[in-house]
Structure 1
Amino acid sequence: MEKIILSHKANLTQVYGNDGFNKIHKALEQLAEISQLETEIVYLDDKTSTQRHGLDPVTEQNTETIQKFIENLSKEYDSEYLLIIGGHRIIPFYELKDPTEAKEIVYSDAPYADVYYDELRSPDISLGRMPDGVVTDPSLLLKQIETATNLFKGIAKKTVDTTGVSAESWESVSQNLFSKIKQDTELILSPDWGLGNKVPDHINLGIIKPTKWQSQRPDSVTKAIIEHTSSLIKKVLDPKVFSSRKLIYFNVHGDDRVPEWVGEILSALKIEGEDCVLIVYPDILKPEIIKQANVQNAIIFTEACFGAYTINKTPDSSNALCFMNEGALCFVGSTAVAYGEPRKKYPRWADVMAKYFFDFVKRNYEMGTAFQMAKQRYIGTERPFNREDLKTMYEFQLYGDPSVTMP
């Protein structure tokens, strides 16, 4: 059995009803049939489904028990691919301890791919997930299954060109990385787009100096800052920039509380005789903009913090879910705070993961294999291996069918 499609029948039925479950199952049967891989659909809680493979059903939402089930199943059949259907409420992510000082929960599928356990969570199988957040309509899952099915049918529309978008403050490292992805394409910087015509809905900023204005500032200072940033940030990302693109790369800021990804720029000005330095965070991307673009079959990698955080989210509150709902083929991002080298030219952590992933994708490896090999190369080349490296291995996830290739 080359490929396992894994889900939880009772949880799918509870969320989507019998009719919704039947639609999802039928779509999965079509995907399994068309993929030209020896594929089994397994519901880990269903006795009839598991006993066909000599395994007892998993009755609890326990990640370690689920991991052991996956381990036994994949070892028995020497499987290459594992596709998990559903988000955290269907088959839960592992909640891993953060190895860095951030001390946050790191939601991760990495242990499920680590069939032959090791401390670094090196993947032994190509794993992808089709997430569903907290939607109650099966259309999000059905869209993701349809996207993969159409690719195997050979009716997926081919995309061209590549887009890279970076916070302006991270230009050096982003340009270094993006030039290796696409040599003849200009990296787009925030906030100086040169494209689009809509002013951002809001601008987040902080004052670096003078320190006396960091916590409290006069109205006159606030007015001067607003006037300055309004002229500085003239335009936001035009959907045409990343529409009908094959590869899309983002090196920007993200937050688990809001859907917007934001840029960053340092700006100096004089206000009331004081030398003032601002750090400005303009909106870059949100679901409303994604919906205006054609992202069918796009392959997206984002370094945004929480870029792949989908728990309790919908396509209207998560860029990741919105991309998948609009027909993206693959999405790779982090479920927690991601790390990079903002002021230096050479890539680290998330930058390196992006570079290796795109390297293998461009060589026509399957999405899951490219992600698996990117992690394996990361482990083999990044020395010394520190806490941020370990967290990078945990937090980056792949959404989409791991057995598809770039159209």
Structure 2
Amino acid sequence: MKARELMNIARLSLTLGDSRYAIALLRHLLAHLPHYLEARLLLGDLLAEKGEVEEARRQGEVVLAVDPVNYEALQGARLLSRLSARGAATEVGPPPGGGEGLRHTLVLAEALWRGARWREAKRILAGLEERHPSCLRVKLMLADILLQEGSDVEGASLLHEAQILDPSMKVARELFGGLHSDFLEMDVDLPLPEGLPLGPEELQVLLGDEGYRKEEIDVEEVPAGPLAEEEADQIPDVEEEAEPEAAVTPFEGWPDQALAEEDEPVEVVDLLVTEEWPHQLPIDEGALEEAPRESVEESETLVTPSLRKDTPSLRPMELIVTSKFRLAEKYGPDGFMRIEEKLSELERATKGLQVKRVYVDEGSTLDGLEAVDPTDPWAVKALIDEIDERLQAEGREAKFLLLVGGDDIIPFCRLPNPADDEELEVWTDNPYASRDDNFLLPQRAVGRIPDGKKEGILLSLLDVAIECHGEASKGRLTGMVAGLMRGLRRSPSSLGLSAEIWQEASQAVFEAIGNSKGLEISPPFTDQEFLERHTQVPPLAYFNLHGVKEAAYWYGHSSSGEELDFPIALTPLNLAWAEVSGAVVYSEACYGAHLREGSADSSISLAFLAKGAKAVIGSTGMAYGALMPPLSGADLLGRNLWLGLKRGFTIGEALLRAKLGLVEEMAERQGFLDGEDQKTILSFVLYGDPSLKAPVVASPSQQPSRAEISCPSVVCGMRAQDSVEVDEEVVAKVRKHLAEKVPFMAELELKVVSQSLCAKGCSCGGGCFLRQAPLGVKKAPPNLVFTSERLTPLPGDGTL
């Protein structure tokens, strides 16, 4: 039996109301793994409830010896000290596990690390590692920095040492979230416990007859494991780790405020939110003196924003959100039961992340909240926000959100179209990703597993997600070996296919994941060449082609002359003959994420998913990009996405950060978001589980730093519809530019509109106002925007 399984059974026994049985299981686990901190903390709580103060205190001391700023252990130590002092009439002493100077230095180092100031953090952490070699948090943060710098061997070695200090990796999960998750899944086989007290009958199926005792015995008679007698030698001595109290008054609010006086509620204080704390922290000067002397200048990194101020107290979760009644209505009771079984299997397959399933129209899954109408996306969003608020109050957060079903199960949100094109509204999942009403700054990583006309499509896509989670649990080493084998076979790790007219921009995007010379160009490339050359789609696949709503194909586009050529570049049939399992697909095609009749035969994105692609990212409507650098719109989003995946973020996190990176880049470049920027952020959606990672080995040297951003001003989509008259000389200059870049558009009729920034007093009535807070200097947009259109018949069924 695995240690994690035993831990879960202990928690289950508590849920069933049997704390004695849980204590016996925890003692058995700690007898074999004395450093399992998660078990120590739980056992300490249970012993304290029984009044065994000294033994409970010892459990906390073991934790603080390796993690001096562990909040649970600090709180427990102070409360237990008060209990002891009350009984013995003595003063409350300082918590064990090192002096306040060490704790404050750790808080400072963690703040620098979370703020992506890695060089400064590394200086402090290197000194702490030398002075306090058993400090778990130091090893973890230093390992992360080394891995980011490309020092994989040293970083992996520190992670291994951290695993030894805490096989449960509780602290690591709190620090890293989804990062380095493959390293953190170490689990240990334990012998089945023998001689346990009589436990709940519900656990017999989990432990079997060998581990489940049917006769009552005393808990204290549970035999110790082989490591029990050596436990004291293996656990760092608390007294030796302690250092004198710093001669500085701790800053207000920590840790004493977290441990209220008797009869006062206990309040958790966020260490990283207090604005004045950097000026009040007493720093362990020894850590700085003995650290390597390095420059503190900022490293050159791709700048993308953080989602919010991270706090170590919030544990990431994934919410699986769907509608029970709409699934049952569409697929029947038997079909729903098969889908529910697959959802349960997906929950079990998701390792290292707590999963909660939510049926928005079934109150029994909502923990007392009211069910909502699944046809109302805004009611669904409000429910998700309320669930997330409750989770945060419990120290957790909905970091990942997986919507199950297409628009007729959990609907897309409809927003006014901010761009000047023929569409009236944008179908988007961004509101579900936002914790407020600003849908341009998502805060949750959202993905969707769509369905089709038949139940089998949804079941097969759930199977893909289950299989991908199973492969992820095999660990990073497996991925590295697979990468080496791919290199030996000289198989490409990426595929790129672009319309000729967008070749320059596409090369700038594709070079993030492959050699730009390897980008396929259409024309001359067609769907026939795809059949001949690409029987296996590599792990990363990039497409910058035309798409239309009424056709199932993606098209190329010639760039020379006035005669247009739009060859068919990709069809669903191409994928029927190709192996695409595990691929992550990004498409800039218009309607690249349009599911067209819910059939893999009529939708390229659904065909990719049905053939086993891990994820497809595309637009639900018209998409925009550049002819050449500087990149904008879908091009900029795609490049940010690829860099995020190479950094090691999950697919959902990478897309979220790519959107925020687009906001920051355009705010810096032009001071506002125009309609095309806004539509790009809203219309691009993820089909697939957002908590999965791309099948590539991360390159820590290419990583985004974290920076807080706010939403810049936006161009009002409603006030940009009225045409204006302009001087013929200006029109002539525009036509000359078109003749040089896109000659087939030079003689077309031009529509000219003026742009205005939206504000609360905007004459549009605030219909496109998104509660934005200006970022930097507020710039006025260009006065005029020129557009033109030309309808061209396409091969197949479409018109472009």
In structure 2, what is the equivalent of residue 318 of structure 1?
A: 603
Structure number with the bigger relative contact order (C-alpha 8 A, sep ≥ 6) is: 1
In structure 1, what is the equivalent of residue 629 of structure 2?
A: 345
Distance 1:165 1:63, change over 3 A: same
In structure 2, what is the equivalent of residue 372 of structure 1?
A: 656
In structure 1, what is the equivalent of residue 132 of structure 2?
A: none
In structure 2, what is the equivalent of residue 335 of structure 1?
A: 620
| Distance (whole Å) between structure 1 residues aligned to residue 468 and residue 558 of structure 2 | 39
In structure 1, what is the equivalent of residue 466 of structure 2?
A: 149
Match of 1:74 among 379, 388, 405: 388
Say how many residue pairs are matched.
354
Residue 239 of structure 1, CA deviation: 5.8
Match of 1:114 among 424, 429, 434: 434
In structure 2, what is the equivalent of residue 302 of structure 1?
A: 587
| Distance (whole Å) between structure 2 residues aligned to residue 114 and residue 279 of structure 1 | 42
Q: Indicate the structure (1 or 2) with the bigger Cα radius of gyration.
A: 2
In structure 2, what is the equivalent of residue 162 of structure 1?
A: 494
In structure 2, what is the equivalent of residue 388 of structure 1?
A: 676
Is 2:424 the partner of 1:139? no
In structure 2, what is the equivalent of residue 398 of structure 1?
A: 686
Unpaired stretches in structure 1, ≥5 consecutive residues: 194-198, 201-234, 269-276
| Distance (whole Å) between structure 2 residues aligned to residue 325 and residue 358 of structure 1 | 23
Moved over 2 A (4+): 154-160, 235-242
| Distance (whole Å) between structure 2 residues aligned to residue 175 and residue 39 of structure 1 | 39
Question: Secondary structure at 2:326's aligned position in 1?
Answer: helix
With structure 1 as the length reference, what TM-score do the two structures score? 0.83
Letter in 2 for 1:330: A
| Distance (whole Å) between structure 2 residues aligned to residue 266 and residue 389 of structure 1 | 24
Distance 1:264 1:237, change over 3 A: same
| Distance (whole Å) between structure 1 residues aligned to residue 620 and residue 345 of structure 2 | 30
Distance 1:81 1:392, change over 3 A: same
The answer to whether the 8 Å contact 1:96/1:108 transfers is yes
Residue 311 of structure 1, CA deviation: 5.5
Is 2:515 the partner of 1:191? no
Identity rate, percent: 31
Residue 236 of structure 1, CA deviation: 3.9
Question: What aligned pairs does 1:106-255 form with structure 2 within 5 A after superposition?
Answer: 106-118=426-438, 120-133=439-452, 135-136=453-454, 138-154=455-471, 161-183=493-515, 186-193=518-525, 236-238=529-531, 240-241=533-534, 243-255=536-548
Residue 181 of structure 1, CA deviation: 2.1
Per-residue CA deviation, residues 252-306 of structure 1 (Å, 9 max, x unaligned), is: 00011011000000454xxxxxxxx301100011111111110101000000000
| Distance (whole Å) between structure 2 residues aligned to residue 58 and residue 152 of structure 1 | 30
Question: Secondary structure at 1:397's aligned position in 2?
Answer: strand
Residue 401 of structure 1, CA deviation: 0.4
In structure 1, what is the equivalent of residue 320 of structure 2?
A: 5
Question: Secondary structure at 1:293's aligned position in 2?
Answer: coil
Is 2:317 the partner of 1:29? no
Per-residue CA deviation, residues 115-149 of structure 1 (Å, 9 max, x unaligned), is: 1321x53111110001114x12x221122211121
Q: Which has the higher helix share?
A: 2
Per-residue CA deviation, residues 207-250 of structure 1 (Å, 9 max, x unaligned), is: xxxxxxxxxxxxxxxxxxxxxxxxxxxx5423642624100000
| Distance (whole Å) between structure 1 residues aligned to residue 535 and residue 387 of structure 2 | 40
In structure 1, what is the equivalent of residue 569 of structure 2?
A: 284
Per-residue CA deviation, residues 144-173 of structure 1 (Å, 9 max, x unaligned), is: 211121122228996751000000111111
Letter in 2 for 1:248: A
The answer to whether the 8 Å contact 1:240/1:293 transfers is no
| Distance (whole Å) between structure 1 residues aligned to residue 399 and residue 679 of structure 2 | 25
Per-residue CA deviation, residues 18-49 of structure 1 (Å, 9 max, x unaligned), is: 11111111111111112121111111111222
Match of 2:331 among 13, 16, 23: 16
Question: Secondary structure at 1:153's aligned position in 2?
Answer: helix
Unpaired stretches in structure 2, ≥5 consecutive residues: 1-315, 392-396, 487-491, 696-800
| Distance (whole Å) between structure 2 residues aligned to residue 73 and residue 247 of structure 1 | 34
With structure 2 as the length reference, what TM-score do the two structures score? 0.43
Distance 1:33 1:310, change over 3 A: same
| Distance (whole Å) between structure 2 residues aligned to residue 21 and residue 293 of structure 1 | 31
| Distance (whole Å) between structure 2 residues aligned to residue 238 and residue 267 of structure 1 | 26
Question: Secondary structure at 2:426's aligned position in 1?
Answer: strand
In structure 1, what is the equivalent of residue 54 of structure 2?
A: none
| Distance (whole Å) between structure 1 residues aligned to residue 436 and residue 532 of structure 2 | 43
Q: CA RMSD in A?
A: 1.9
Is 2:555 the partner of 1:262? yes
Distance 1:293 1:60, change over 3 A: closer
Distance 1:10 1:165, change over 3 A: same
The answer to whether the 8 Å contact 2:497/2:545 transfers is yes
Distance 1:239 1:335, change over 3 A: farther
The answer to whether the 8 Å contact 1:239/1:292 transfers is no
| Distance (whole Å) between structure 2 residues aligned to residue 116 and residue 311 of structure 1 | 31
The answer to whether the 8 Å contact 1:6/1:44 transfers is yes
Per-residue CA deviation, residues 95-119 of structure 1 (Å, 9 max, x unaligned), is: 111011114121110111111321x
| Distance (whole Å) between structure 1 residues aligned to residue 419 and residue 358 of structure 2 | 36
Is 2:679 the partner of 1:360? no
Q: Which has the higher strand share?
A: 1
| Distance (whole Å) between structure 1 residues aligned to residue 535 and residue 680 of structure 2 | 26
| Distance (whole Å) between structure 2 residues aligned to residue 237 and residue 320 of structure 1 | 16
Question: Secondary structure at 1:337's aligned position in 2?
Answer: coil
Distance 1:239 1:111, change over 3 A: farther
The answer to whether the 8 Å contact 1:357/1:371 transfers is yes
Distance 1:239 1:140, change over 3 A: farther
The answer to whether the 8 Å contact 2:507/2:516 transfers is no
| Distance (whole Å) between structure 2 residues aligned to residue 184 and residue 302 of structure 1 | 17
